[in-house]
């Protein structure tokens, strides 16, 4: 009898103990705002939605701590530790042992790391080859040691090797065996493994039970492609989705906050909204015209227009929060002064400037706001709307003397300054990137900062560069737009969320449902 009672009590306890585990949800459904996947290769894709998901599949030698975006939070990932020589041109990384590539592709070793860096630096196989141009070689020292040699010291090698763009590590055997189809079947070492892709619907990922940081607490992720804002919101409300990409408006944030069981967050990184003024083209080659534009723009007004829950005022010609950002004294909103400057420049009756504008809803809304503000000072923006791909092509042919651009780059001052304000990146040059203003006033400081080993001096050089660019009015920064996400309050991300460098919240082995 005693045995029967003991068995009964034990059974009951077992059932009670098992019940919460059974009830706990272990499949996560996330919605991106795009219609379909692009190339699922971390070295090729430029789509934010793809990059975010690939961050769950791949690792890098180092990573920015989940939930953070600043390089000061860099910590070991596939590399356990590293050392550098005195002038920081030779780095040796000790690769973590026992890391398994997804599928049957063996252990991740220094050979995979060297292969990944060479692949990411190859312009035929990578969109981010330019970022890694300073790497002279990546050599295998032994199976778990990698030596990276630089052509010259750079501000943040660890930043380049973090879990972002060209820093992502692929498994050599898988990449070589799969060839171009690697972009349809990505193989990494991360907490989640690629399982299935359904066109225009979803990508399915499964937990990598042998993940080196521990088995994930989510068994399956369905990453849905849902371009309709309304449908994403309704599906979150109905419980069909657990996490959605939001709309960058205060109204959306307020509405979703009122939905029971939903958490909303505006997260870093913020994308800097700036008018890039071509300083070599008429009439913008006259600094008084550029000053007039700067004084005509009301930064507070733009933040009001875009919503103060999802945007904030710009503080410099590079995004706030980057390593090296200096808060500058930007031109004050002063219509009378703007008109006076225009008069002095020979335009007493105002002037009209052509602007090619993307029909992308966010970009066109911002440009329309600016158009209304500038009109008050007599500056007419002759807006010529074109679709987004056409806009990208036309602004890279110098067809628009003013370019309204929204962007963030790896959060080290050198990235933004080099890509937007160094003469080597000027449109039309062989090494053209996104210097739409043809700015060349701070080349010396930008270059000197790159190889400056003393961080205080490096920051001083970046400060001077920002001041020079701002004084020359190569660009007029006015606001910054944050990333907006909403998720079920039953979901515990496993870290404090401040931001995500890959624009999509990190999902780690610690992410779980609490009910």
Partner 1 sequence: MLGYLVRRTVLAAVTGIAVLTLAFCIVRILPGKPSHVILGDFASQAAIEALDKRLGLDRPIWVQYADFMRKSVMGDWGTSMVTDRPVVDEILRVLPWTLELTVAALVIGIVLGVPLGVWAALRRNGAADYAIRVASLLGLSFPAFVSAVLLLLLFSIQLSWFPVISARTGSLSAWAQSLALPAINLGLINAAYITRVTRSAMLEVLHEDYVRTARAKGVPWSAVVWRHALGNAMIPIVTVVGLFLGILIGNSVLTEIVFNRPGLGKLIVGALNQRDYTMLQALMVTYTLLVVAVNVLTDLVYGVVDPRVKLQ
Q: Which is nearer to partner 1, 35 or 215 (CB)?
A: 35
**Binding pattern for the stretch 144-173 against partner 1, x by CB under 8 A and - elsewhere:** ---------------------x--------
Q: Which is nearer to partner 1, 21 or 230 (CB)?
A: 230
Determine which residue in the list 126, 134, 273, 291 makes contact with partner 1, applying CB under 8 A: 126
Distance, in Å, from the CA atom of 449 to the CA atom of 443, rounded to the nearest integer, reads: 10
| Binders in 381-420 for partner 1, by CB under 8 A | 386-390, 392-394, 396, 407
Q: Are strands 379-386 and 351-358 parallel, antiparallel or unpaired?
A: parallel
Distance, in Å, from the CA atom of 452 to the CA atom of 87, rounded to the nearest integer, reads: 10
CA angle (190 as vertex; 508, 482 as ends), nearest 5? 50
Which own/partner contact pairs does 209-217 have at CB distance under 8 Å and 24+ positions apart? 210/100, 211/509, 212/96, 212/98, 212/99, 212/100, 213/508, 213/509, 214/509, 215/509, 216/191, 216/192, 216/508, 216/509, 216/511, 217/26, 217/509, 217/510, 217/511, 217/512
Going by C-alpha positions, the residue among 73, 55, 129 that lies closest to residue 411 is 73
Stretch that binds partner 1, among 153-161, 186-194, 227-235, 485-493 (CB under 8 A): 227-235
Q: Which is nearer to partner 1, 331 or 475 (CB)?
A: 475
Q: Other CB atoms closer than 10 Å to residue 267's CB: what's the count? A: 17
We find the least distance from the C-beta atom of residue 233 to partner 1, in angstroms, to be: 9
CA distances from 73 to 64, 116, 501, 504 (A): 5, 23, 12, 18
Stretch that binds partner 1, among 35-43, 270-278, 315-323, 471-479 (CB under 8 A): 35-43
Going by C-alpha positions, the residue among 104, 140, 167, 220 that lies closest to residue 412 is 167
Residue 3 CB-density burial (10 A; 0-12 exposed, 13-18 middle, 19+ buried)? exposed
Stretch that binds partner 1, among 37-45, 100-108, 439-447, 489-497 (CB under 8 A): 37-45
Distance, in Å, from the CA atom of 165 to the CA atom of 157, rounded to the nearest integer, reads: 13
Q: Is 130 in the site for partner 1 (CB under 8 A)?
A: yes
Beta bridge partners of 475: 276
| Binders in 170-209 for partner 1, by CB under 8 A | 180-181, 183-184, 198-201
Determine which residue in the list 9, 12, 215, 234 makes contact with partner 1, applying CB under 8 A: 234
Residue that has been written with the tokens 């300054």 in this structure: 417
We find the least distance from the C-beta atom of residue 251 to partner 1, in angstroms, to be: 16
What is the total count of residues that contact partner 1 (CB under 8 A)?
A: 53
Stretch that binds partner 1, among 242-250, 281-289, 430-438, 466-474 (CB under 8 A): 430-438
**Binding pattern for the stretch 333-372 against partner 1, x by CB under 8 A and - elsewhere:** ----------------------------------------
Q: Is 227 in the site for partner 1 (CB under 8 A)?
A: yes
We find the least distance from the C-beta atom of residue 48 to partner 1, in angstroms, to be: 9
Q: Which is nearer to partner 1, 263 or 360 (CB)?
A: 360
Pseudo-torsion of CA 133, 135, 138, 141, nearest 10°?
A: 180
Determine which residue in the list 28, 30, 39, 117 makes contact with partner 1, applying CB under 8 A: 39
Residue that has been written with the tokens 């026992």 in this structure: 98
Residues that bind partner 1 (CB under 8 A): 35-39, 44-47, 123-124, 126-131, 165, 180-181, 183-184, 198-201, 224, 226-228, 230-231, 234-235, 237-238, 240-241, 386-390, 392-394, 396, 407, 430-434
């Amino acid at each position: 009898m005693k045995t029967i009672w003991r068995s009964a009590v034990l059974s009951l306890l077992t059932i009670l103990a098992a019940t919460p585990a059974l009830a706990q949800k272990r499949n996560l459904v996330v919605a991106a705002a795009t219609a379909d996947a692009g190339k699922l290769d971390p070295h090729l894709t430029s789509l934010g939605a793809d990059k975010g998901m690939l961050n769950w599949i791949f690792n890098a030698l180092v990573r920015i701590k989940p939930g953070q975006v600043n390089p000061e939070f860099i910590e070991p990932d596939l590399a356990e530790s590293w050392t550098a020589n005195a002038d920081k041109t030779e780095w040796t990384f000790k690769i973590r042992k026992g890391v398994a590539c997804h599928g049957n592709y063996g252990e991740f070793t220094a050979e995979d790391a060297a292969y990944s860096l060479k692949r990411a630096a190859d312009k035929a196989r990578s969109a981010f080859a330019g970022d890694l141009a300073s790497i002279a070689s990546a050599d295998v020292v032994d199976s778990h040691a990698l030596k990276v040699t630089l052509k010259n010291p750079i501000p943040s090698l660890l930043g380049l090797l973090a879990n972002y763009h060209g820093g992502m590590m692929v498994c050599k055997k898988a990449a070589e065996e799969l060839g171009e189809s690697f972009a349809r079947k990505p193989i990494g070492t991360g907490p989640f493994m690629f399982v299935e892709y359904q066109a225009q619907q979803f990508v399915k990922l499964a937990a990598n039970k042998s993940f080196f940081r521990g088995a994930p607490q989510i068994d399956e992720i369905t990453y849905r492609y849902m371009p309709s804002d309304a449908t994403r919101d309704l599906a979150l409300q109905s419980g069909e989705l657990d996490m959605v990409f939001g709309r960058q408006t205060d109204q959306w944030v307020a509405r979703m906050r009122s939905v029971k069981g939903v958490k909303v967050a505006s997260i870093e990184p913020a994308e800097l909204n700036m008018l890039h003024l071509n300083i070599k083209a008429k009439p913008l080659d006259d600094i008084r015209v550029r000053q007039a534009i700067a004084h005509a723009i009301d930064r507070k007004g733009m933040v009001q227009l875009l919503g103060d829950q999802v945007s904030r005022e710009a503080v410099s010609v590079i995004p706030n929060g980057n390593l090296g950002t200096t808060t500058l004294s930007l031109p004050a909103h002063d219509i009378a002064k703007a008109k006076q400057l225009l008069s002095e420049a020979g335009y007493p009756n105002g002037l009209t400037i052509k602007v090619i504008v993307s029909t992308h809803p966010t970009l066109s809304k911002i440009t329309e706001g600016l158009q209304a503000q500038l009109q008050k000072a007599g500056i007419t923006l002759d807006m010529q709307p074109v679709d987004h791909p056409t806009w990208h092509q036309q602004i890279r042919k110098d067809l628009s003397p003013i370019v309204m651009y929204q962007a963030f780059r790896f959060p080290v001052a050198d990235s933004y300054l080099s890509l937007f304000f160094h003469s080597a990146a000027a449109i039309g040059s062989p090494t053209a990137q996104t210097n739409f203003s043809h700015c060349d006033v701070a080349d010396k400081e930008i270059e000197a900062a790159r190889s400056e080993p003393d961080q205080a001096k490096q920051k001083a050089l970046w400060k001077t560069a920002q001041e020079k660019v701002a004084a020359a009015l190569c660009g007029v920064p006015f606001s910054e737009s944050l990333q907006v996400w909403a998720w079920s309050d039953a979901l515990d991300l496993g870290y404090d969320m401040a931001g995500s460098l890959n624009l999509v919240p990190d999902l780690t082995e610690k992410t779980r449902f609490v009910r």
